[in-house]
Structure 1
Amino acid sequence: MGIGILWVLMAAIMLGFYALPSKYIKNYAIENTWGIFWVLAMFVVPVIAAFALVNGLLDTYSQVSSSLFITILFLSILWGIGNLLWGISISKIGMALDFSLLIGVGTLSGSILPFFMGSADQLNTPRGMVILGGIFIIMIGIIANGKAGLLREKFENSDKDQSNTDSNKMRNGIIICVIGSICAAGFNLSYHVADNLGHIGQISQDQFGNAPWVARIAVMLPSFIGSGIATVLYFSSQLTKNKSWRNFKTPESSKNFGLLLIMALVYCTSLIIYGLGAYELGPLGTSVGFAIFQTGCIMVANLLGFFTSEWNNAGSLSKNWLFSGLFIMSIGIIVVAYGNAIS
């Protein structure tokens, strides 16, 4: 279990860093940057890795029912839609509230729903109750973290003109973000269906001798494909709408492509490592692992922001809420881990 938690935390750290190279991309519009990224991260990197590393990939898939693949595809498309809705809602409600809603609602739905997909009998056990208690402690920490972000935005924008604030815009933004957060949990649910219900990882390991981490590639490949369909279609339409295709002809394109490839490799690797951690955590790994994974992501993101001076002008009250939230989330991780250790 300790190894599983370490894998999940490592995945969270990597996911917190994956977008760093995007700061050095030049002369690309948003749709150029993220359109290429999603092509690489959802199609090119995972497909090449799967066919290069996984023994008996197609034979493994042939033993899984088509209805299960349809379920995986549906959930992974929801994942892609969720990412898009989250990005859209940022402009309406701001990064702090948006990120807190995304992580909070996503953690709640992505951690609890797997209980009802093959593990409902665990809910009334001491183990299940302690894990659920830990998840709700994490939720309290996330709420405190969101409060810190809102106070920070309010403090930093206190001297700015707020005449354009629109309550309808805020309400619509919150609705879009919540829907997007629920959809984004499709990532964890599609993995749960593929591994716990479809047993793709077990088939890949037992029948074809793949190592556990290699088998995770086979488990996640259908999810990558489904999410990629949603995101790539959206960014292709944006490239056409904004006439941004010509940006790919700029002299910086080779360097930009290299940076985006690094981002895609780190992103895919982090999700594969998460899958390995969830596998090591046992039957409830997708519930326990996802709660730790999401919590680790928000902790890494906030600590990175703190050490890169993003919180310098935030005020003491917002910093107190920030550290209180991080402390509470740490307690929640310990409780979740303890619950998973109960036999």
Structure 2
Amino acid sequence: MISIISGIGWHTVGAASAASFYAPISKVKQWSWETTWAVAGFFSWILLPWMVTWFLVPDFGTFYSSISAKSFWAMFLFGAMWGIGNVNYGLTMRYLGMSLGIGIAIGVTLVVGSLMPVIINGTFWHLITTESGEITMLGVVVALFGIAIVTYAGRKKEQVLGNTAEEFNLKKGLILAVFCGIFSAGFAFGLSAAEPIRQQSLSIGIDPLYAMLPSYGIIMGGGALINFGYCISRLAFKRDLSIRHDLSFPLKSLLVNASLAALGGIMWYLQFFFYAWGEANIPQSLSFVNWMLHMSIYVLCGGLVGLALAEWKGVGSRPVRILCLGMLVIVAAANIVGAGMAVG
């Protein structure tokens, strides 16, 4: 029982960290979104993954030489797929805010994450003809309903604020959220391809809590290539964007902006740590609750952080009530999907 409580606690910390990562990023002033995202990403996708690997692995050459080139490329390319989803996730936050953005993005991810694996594996028929599959499909339908409610709340917000919300764009944000949900599955595929690294980690005595972490540098490296490519191309070719402009401010302003962006990147990475700790403390017989807990708490924390940052200030109580209802429906959907996994 104590182990389960501990696992839930670590899942809460990880999901809260992931849900809150955009809060410091949103406080960056006078920088373009592209520069901010690239700085945050350097810490999240490059610096931290390889620093952790450096602490865990005594000899890089010996460790990675046992991993086939096929596995490396699979991890890297799936990471690039995840990178596309990651760019779209960041842009979803930019155009919808945290409360609305997380609600919709995670709702879409919940739907796509439930259906894409069975479609790819050719087991969709199993999903609609078994008890576990039917429960999972019910969760997907409930998630779609939650997405519709959250979207309606966003529409109400847009109507009230009009053009006063500088970056808010419901149509663009919804499109980006859908792409986020589709491509974010690449990380899970990358972890599946990283099984040889997990086995190698265990063979040299790395704690099972950290056995997958040496794969993150490769998977996130693929994502980093996509994210940095997007940001650099935007800064190079968009007339209204310039890295020279972003670096032209006084040193104090640059340090503040860099610190806020770095903090956001660190918070994003830490979710992987705490998810692993939570998963390790949940008994194998209850493993289905890991993903459900992460998604549920993610949505709740994202909504609470967005409200705390006054993203919905001035819209009135009704849109906020609709938003909260939609988030709760998405949380219920995650629990129903988890129940379907349990039955299966």
Same fold (TM over 0.5): yes
Q: Deviations over 1:164-199 (max 9, x none)?
A: xxxxx98777555533431233223322432xxx35
**One-letter amino acid of the counterpart of residue 268, structure 1:** Y
Structure 1 residue runs of 5 or longer lacking an equivalent are 162-168
Q: Does 1:200 align with 2:197?
A: yes
Q: Does 1:221 align with 2:221?
A: no
TM-score by length of 2: 0.77
Shift of 1:17: 1.7
* Paired residues of 2:100 and 2:150 also in contact (CA < 8 A): no
Aligned counterpart, 2:146: 141
Structure 2 residue matching 1:209: 3-state secondary structure: coil
Task: Supply the distance in 2 between the matched residues of 1:180 and 1:336 (Cα, whole angstroms).
Answer: 20
C-alpha RMSD over aligned residues: 3.8
Structure 1 residue matching 2:242: 3-state secondary structure: coil
Task: Supply the distance in 2 between the matched residues of 1:140 and 1:200 (Cα, whole angstroms).
Answer: 39
Q: Alpha carbons of 1:239 and 1:284: their partners in 2 closer, same or farther (altered >3 Å)?
A: farther
Task: Supply the distance in 1 between the matched residues of 2:147 and 2:259 (Cα, whole angstroms).
Answer: 35
Aligned counterpart, 2:262: 261
Q: Deviations over 1:202-237 (max 9, x none)?
A: 4412x1221233223123222211101111122223
Q: Does 1:39 align with 2:35?
A: no
Aligned counterpart, 2:183: 183
Report 1:213-292 matches (<5 A). 213-241=209-237, 242-245=241-244, 247-248=246-247, 250-252=250-252, 253-277=254-278, 280=282, 289-292=290-293
**Identity among equivalent pairs (%):** 22
Shift of 1:38: 1.3
Q: Alpha carbons of 1:292 and 1:63: their partners in 2 closer, same or farther (altered >3 Å)?
A: farther
Task: Supply the distance in 2 between the matched residues of 1:226 and 1:220 (Cα, whole angstroms).
Answer: 10
* Paired residues of 2:103 and 2:302 also in contact (CA < 8 A): no
Q: Does 1:70 align with 2:73?
A: yes
Count the aligned residue pairs: 329
Task: Supply the distance in 2 between the matched residues of 1:293 and 1:260 (Cα, whole angstroms).
Answer: 24
Aligned counterpart, 1:323: 324
Aligned counterpart, 1:165: none
Aligned counterpart, 2:84: 81
Structure 2 residue runs of 5 or longer lacking an equivalent are none
Q: 2:22 aligns with which of 9, 19, 22?
A: 19
Q: Alpha carbons of 1:136 and 1:72: their partners in 2 closer, same or farther (altered >3 Å)?
A: farther
Moved more, 22-31 or 94-103: 94-103
**One-letter amino acid of the counterpart of residue 238, structure 1:** R
Shift of 1:329: 2.9
Moved more, 13-22 or 245-254: 245-254
Report 1:54-69 matches (<5 A). 54=57, 59-69=62-72
Task: Supply the distance in 1 between the matched residues of 2:106 and 2:183 (Cα, whole angstroms).
Answer: 12
